[in-house]
Amino acid sequence: MRNTRLFHFVLLIALLALAVGTVSAQSDATQVVVPAGGSIQIAVVTDLTGPIAEFGLDIAQAAQVAQAEINDAGGIQGFPVELTVEDDRCSGDEATTVANRVVSNLDIVAVVGHICSGATVAASDVYEEARIPMMSPSATAAGVTERGLSVMNRVAFRDDIQGVVDAYYMYEVLGVRSIAVLHDNDTYGLGLAEVVRDTFTELGGEVVAFEGISVDDQDFRSVLTGLVAQTPEAIFFGGYVQQAVLLVPQMGDVGLGDVIFFSDDGVYGEAFLEGAGEAGEGAYASFAETPAGDPERLANFDETYEAMFDVAPADLGPFHYHAYDSTMMIFNAIDSVAEVDDAGNLVINREALVEALRNTADYDGLTGVLTCDEKGDCGAGSIAINVVEDGEWVEVEVPEGLVPAEDEEAE
């Protein structure tokens, strides 16, 4: 009996020692510990089944290009990177659910995403509390980075810049003097529509209508019919491609076929060309200016992407370069703060990573040379305007100095 008790005691001590050893190599609220032979965990949160699923898939796949590149080069300090892709359906409610699932995994160190502004705002509050830094490639609403959050960063441009350029282009270049403004009632579409409305009015133009539409509807003819008597020269739509491809042909149905349709980065892409068909001819959409970086580097990315996924990135969405840069900036920040301990584990301090990502400076990315400001805005480049000609998006010339410098500074 005495020997049995001694055996049980020794076994208990051994189990406790194993448990203590396991805990010591586990992640917690202050740091992430990647055991030797393990991988660094990153979440990519995008839209895979919602209104801009093609855009979302493009973002996820661009992040995988960055993952493959870093792993082929030996990983980060010898540790490979593993991506967990999550679908938030471009929904604030779903984004909150996904964010809570992400933070429940203490081994995830950072997030590429989210894709839509409303979803990004909702999720970022969860990540702020959990101290998990995020870099959005595509959330453009101005308010995304205006809430004092230390974990929220983005490569995407700001809508209070995009909307100003849109308004100036319609007024100064197209010579439009009256517009109707429609929006999707969401953080992104509504915020952008408000900037266009206010800027166009300040320029001396007339906004004859400012109305929201329901994204659940398929028929917007009643809204559009109400605009006929207002005789707008252009309709600006703040929102996503799913509604735009319905609005454009229905404009023709109600007698607004000769009215200019002007929209945003949520519409710019192959999905609009395919969905709108001939009705999309002459439509305008803004997006980031074509990167002025090394053409060979951009071509190499495109070639790698197509080899990996059997589709050209531009055939899915416009944010692949932004997603690659977002992912690589996270990798660089991890590398700058991670340390290998005496046991061969990679230790990543969460607060140090939050600070390192926010302090990113002079990163030479596909979208330009990127430096994050105190709010987490890291994007580079100017806003471009594109028009549909012969079934293709064509970037048109934006006159130098279109937006006066004082207006840009005010924004």
Helix (H, G, I), strand (E, B) or coil at 44: strand
Predicted confidence band of residue 380 (pLDDT cuts 50, 70, 90): confident
DSSP for 185-220? Answer: SSHHHHHHHHHHHHHHHHTT-EEEEEEE--TT-S--
Q: Kindly report, residue by residue over 304-342, the tens digit of the pLDDT.
A: 999 999 999 999 999 999 999 999 999 999 999 999 999
Please say if the pLDDT value at position 42 is more than 60: yes
Domains and CATH numbers, the chain: 31-156+319-380 (3.40.50.2300), 160-290+384-410 (3.40.50.2300)
Neighbours of 297 (CB within 10 A): 13
The one-character DSSP state at 364 is: E
CB 386 within 8 A of CB 268: yes
Residues near 59 by beta carbon (within 8 Å), at least 6 away in sequence:
44, 46, 112, 113, 115, 137, 138, 317, 319, 320, 322, 323
Sign of CA dihedral 277, 278, 283, 289: positive
Q: What is the pLDDT of residues 179-236, one digit of tens each?
A: 999 999 999 999 999 999 999 999 999 999 999 999 999 999 999 999 999 999 999 9
The pTM for the full model equals: 0.89
Map residue 87 onto helix, strand or coil: strand
Average pLDDT value for residue range 115-137: 98
> How many Å apart are CA 87 and CA 68, to the nearest integer?
21
Give the per-residue pLDDT at 14.
41
Q: What is d(CA 364, CA 357) in angstroms, rounded to the nearest whole number?
A: 14
> DSSP state, 401?
T
Q: Tell me the Cα Rg of the chain.
A: 24
* CA separation for the pair 264, 37 (Å, rounded): 45
Amino acid symbol at 210: F
- The percentage of residues in the chain with a pLDDT greater than 90, rounded to a whole number, is 88
Nearest to 268 by CA among 292, 251, 244: 244
- Report whether the peptide linkage leading into residue 114 is cis, meaning its omega lies within 30 degrees of zero: yes
